[in-house]
A and B are shown apart, each in its own frame.
Chain A
């Protein structure tokens, strides 16, 4: 889903499944631990979340515990919108 745009471009999310959107929504307001069944797209949610922080521009976020593979995934994920 490529978006060419300026700062007014609405942030696009790539979370097709409704539970992913629900988790994402929950994470907007809550500080919490999310335990997801394996294979349910945890990294997708994380990278979408990071994309939002990234797009707002002035945030300083630290990601802990990401493996080499995962951080590559996340960087690709934040790129692909």
Chain B
């Protein structure tokens, strides 16, 4: 139920306490929180404990959020952060992510994320950052050899057939849904863009009016894209 990672060399250190089942009751958890330490509860349990008052939020010294990219406006994690921040303005709050791609999707993804996380500052450390490059590079320059295997004739034939299917699907979607504005969607962009997601996002405002056939096609596009890659 609880896993104590024992003390480290420093005697005051207690290690991380994992709380990942609801078998324990609120009272026993409240007692654990009382003693302090580092806890890693699931979002659901933390939710429960914050709402039931098992945690005195003013006693929390800080919150660390891993996988920050998964914190969406309606996620339980965002709710937890809000509960914490509303009652505790002095504790620290630090968020981490190593999935930078997630911050490129949708409209103003970073600012939305920052709002969800109640943070103002973001710090980026990509692989090409000077400091990072310097740390990772040894004395010798790394030599990268890139190999590209050409496609065989039948592979090209398969790819073209799938492209054809994609084109027909897109054309049919366009004619069935006048609202759909996807001029930039030609077969070439299909290779490098997540066009199925783009189409689904564009359809979503009037998804309830989309005919079952169009929905089917939108789903088929996802399958076709999977086949392409």
Contact = CB atoms under 8 A, between A and B. Distances in A.
Interface in A32-67: 32-40, 42, 45-46, 49-51, 53-67
Nearest to A64: B65
Contacts of B100: 35-38
B38 A33 contact: no
Contacts of B41: 62
Interface residue range, chain B:
35 or more
Of the candidates A11, A39, A74, the one having the most CB atoms from chain B within 10 angstroms of its own CB is: A74
Nearest to B97: A35
A30 B113 CA distance: 17
A36 B213 CA distance: 42
Interface string B71-108: 10000010011001000000011111111100100000
Contacts of A81: 8-10
Interface stretch (B115-123, B153-161, B164-172, B203-211): B115-123
Contacts, number: 214
Q: How large is the interface on A (under 10, 10 to 19, 20 to 34, 35 or more residues)?
A: 35 or more
Contact of B9 (A2, A61, A63, A68): A2
A74 to B, nearest CB: 5
Contacts of B99: 38
Given A6-B11, A62-B46, A46 B64 contact: yes
Nearest to A80: B8
B194 interface: no
A33 B8 contact: no
Nearest to B101: A38
Contacts of B53: none
B114 to A, nearest CB: 7
A50 B16 contact: yes
Listed from nearest, the 10 A-B pairs whose CB atoms lie closest are A75-B5, A57-B12, A3-B9, A17-B135, A32-B121, A60-B36, A19-B131, A59-B61, A37-B127, A75-B16
Interface of B: 3, 5-6, 8-16, 18, 20, 33, 36-41, 43, 46, 59-68, 70-71, 77, 80-81, 84, 92-100, 103, 113-114, 117, 119-127, 129, 131-132, 134-136
Given A32-B123, A34-B122, A54-B37, 16 more contacts: A20-B135, A30-B123, A31-B121, A33-B97, A33-B119, A35-B125, A36-B97, A37-B125, A42-B98, A46-B96, A55-B10, A59-B36, A60-B37, A61-B64, A64-B46, A65-B77
